[in-house]
Amino acid sequence: MSIQDPNCIFCKIVAGQIPSRKVYEDDDLFAFHDIAPWAPVHFLMVPKLHIPSMTQLTPEHERLMGRLMLLAPRLAMEQGCNPYPDGGFRLVCNTGTEGGQEVHHLHVHIMGGPRPWVRG
Ligand code: AMP
């Protein structure tokens, strides 16, 4: 897949131009471990498409985002999160500067594993 936004670090990760610890990949979605984990399990899920944030989502993205949400619990368990209800995971999608977003390529954090966590 050709790079979508040459200034975007997550586009570069998706394109393999910046190394990452890959968790999952298909035609539309990519998941990789966060470089600064808050929890024993902490990975990011991104659409390969460069969508800056949730605020740019349109009805065209409904299936893409639905797939991401359905994939999240499966990958969380595969990565070592403990089963619901005693285990589980946290899913975070920071949006905009006041929402704590630092990388402006839509991504969902999946965090889990035994507490205490580093943060969160
Ligand atoms: P956010 O504040 O929601 O935009 O989160 C961006 C996340 O990307 C942070 O948790 C960073 O640790 C993570 N991050 C930044 N650069 C990389 C990278 N090269 N590989 C993996 N994770 C990264």
CA angle 112, 13, 32 (to 5 degrees): 20
- Structural domain containing residue 39: 9-112
Cα of 34 from ligand 1 centre, angstroms:
6
Question: Residue 34 contacts by C-beta under 8 Å, 6 or more apart in sequence?
Answer: 42, 43, 44, 109
Answer whether 95 contacts ligand 1 (Cβ < 6 A): no
Is the pTM for the entire model greater than 0.85?
yes
Q: What's the domain count of the chain?
A: 1
Answer whether 18 contacts ligand 1 (Cβ < 6 A): yes
pLDDT digits (tens, 9 = 90+) for 65-91: 999 999 999 999 999 999 999 999 999
Instruction: Decide if 4 is inside a domain.
Output: no
Instruction: Decide if 15 is inside a domain.
Output: yes
Instruction: Decide if 2 is inside a domain.
Output: no
For a ligand 1 pocket test, name from 95, 102, 104 the mutation site with the most ligand atoms within 8 angstroms of its C-beta: 102
For a ligand 1 pocket test, name from 93, 103, 108 the mutation site with the most ligand atoms within 8 angstroms of its C-beta: 103
Q: What is the CATH number of the domain that holds 32?
A: 3.30.428.10
**What per-residue confidence (pLDDT) applies to 120?**
87
Instruction: Decide if 98 is inside a domain.
Output: yes
Question: Which of 89, 83, 71 lies closest to 29, judged by CA?
Answer: 71
pLDDT digits (tens, 9 = 90+) for 3-27: 789 999 999 999 999 999 999 999 9
Dihedral Cα 55, 58, 62, 64, nearest 10 deg: -70
